[in-house]
Amino acid sequence: MSPDMRPMMPLTLTAYTLVTANGRGVGPVLQALRDRRSGLRPCDFEDVTLKTYIGRVEGLEDFSLENDLERFDCRNNRLAWLGLQQDGFMVAVAEAKQRYGAHRVAVVMGTSTSGILETEHAYHMRDQAGSLPAWYTSRYRYTHNMFSLGHFVRTCLGLRGPAMVVSTACSSSAKVFATVDRLLRTGLCDAAIVGGVDSLCLTTLYGFSALQLLSTKPCRPCDEDREGLSLGEAAGFALLESSERVGRPGAVALLGYGESTDGYHMSHPHPEGAGAIRAIRDSLARAGLRPEDVEYINLHGTATRANDAVEDKAVYSIFGARPACSSTKGWTGHTLGAAGITEAVISTLCLTHGLIPGTLNCARVDPSLKSRILRNNQTGPLAVVLSNIFGFGGNNCSLVLGKLP
């Protein structure tokens, strides 16, 4: 076993927060899971005429960022701002700054499109000569630029440690956990804010429509009649610290992670799930766990025929039909670059509250799938959860989350 694959020091999720179409803060999100209440709705985003369902966060059109944050104003950063305001997260970060110093707290964000909606609006406003409006060129670095999100979060929180943004499609805000582990092990920081934000835009809606991947109904992961995904938007954040410093019995921690890239096709995963299998196995190795230690698997579960089938092959090849498996995208939609943090926070809620959410909108599990797919919620103690995020083109990440002994 290589030194990098030895069991890692767990990283405690000292604080965490989440905003999705189901509500602002972990309380509303948890209640929606318990009530089996979806946040998906018929598409009503701007002037889009596609027949599909989306997970749109309410209220982003009703305010703008002002004063020192005005230059960052765009839908993506407004969504980030809402996320930072929930669950006492900014207070927890302020306490971490006191413990370590602002220069020792890193910011590692994930997004797939950043503020691309601002560029879409700018192109609609070109003059007769085809020139973009002046306001756009002066604000690009603070809005559409991929680092905009990291710059914005760092500014809001008053941090001066390392900062970066990961953009690897759907796996973006799962891979941030792996990046932070490396930053901590190399001594570049003492704590880190991880997170992801991805907001709705025309490029993703029409792009996935062109690929014939959008469902005309709320997405139905693992259902025998599934027809595609539902896009959503979300913002989530977590404060990670070494469990040696702040760990306490029962606290939720990142126990392990695995990353891989299929390199098989520009958009499709490997048909046998080769990259997914490697990511899962590496996550278990870093956690120092065996497959039988995992009690629940939060599937990537996008509800496209190819994704669900390939993920099932990967999961079944390692775990068989023993652990409970489900997808939570029927609640939130596929939040793309924010999917990793969204489902990591949901997995944390599952561990904390002893909840396994059954796959929403799945009327009958596809009989070709071999894993144990749950349709109804279950309750009971949980100690270890695996969260899979398998991105566009086979960019994979698996996270093992569990309670500290």
Q: Which helix (H) or strand (E) holds 97?
A: helix 89-100
- Count CB-CB contacts under 10 A for residue 63: 11
User: How many Cα atoms within 13 Å fall on the side-chain side of residue 303?
Assistant: 32
- Count CB-CB contacts under 10 A for residue 362: 25
What are residue 135's phi and psi, to 5 degrees? -60, -30
SS3 371: coil
Residue among 197, 198, 242, 4 at smallest CA distance from 105: 242
The one-character DSSP state at 334 is B
Fill in the amino acid letter for 118: E
Most distant pair of Cα atoms in the chain: their distance: 66
Residue among 360, 355, 300, 349 at smallest CA distance from 38: 360
- Count CB-CB contacts under 10 A for residue 371: 25
> Quick one: tokens of 264?
């098989």
Query: Which residues are catalytic, by number?
Result: 170, 300, 334
SS3 3: helix
Residue among 170, 169, 166 at smallest CA distance from 107: 166
Q: What is the rounded distance in angstroms from the CA atom of residue 232 to the CA atom of residue 328?
A: 12
User: Beta-strand (E) ranges in 294-383?
Assistant: 296-298, 324-326, 355-356, 372-373, 378-379
SS3 385: strand
Residue with the two structure tokens 């944390």: 348
What are residue 137's phi and psi, to 5 degrees? -65, -30
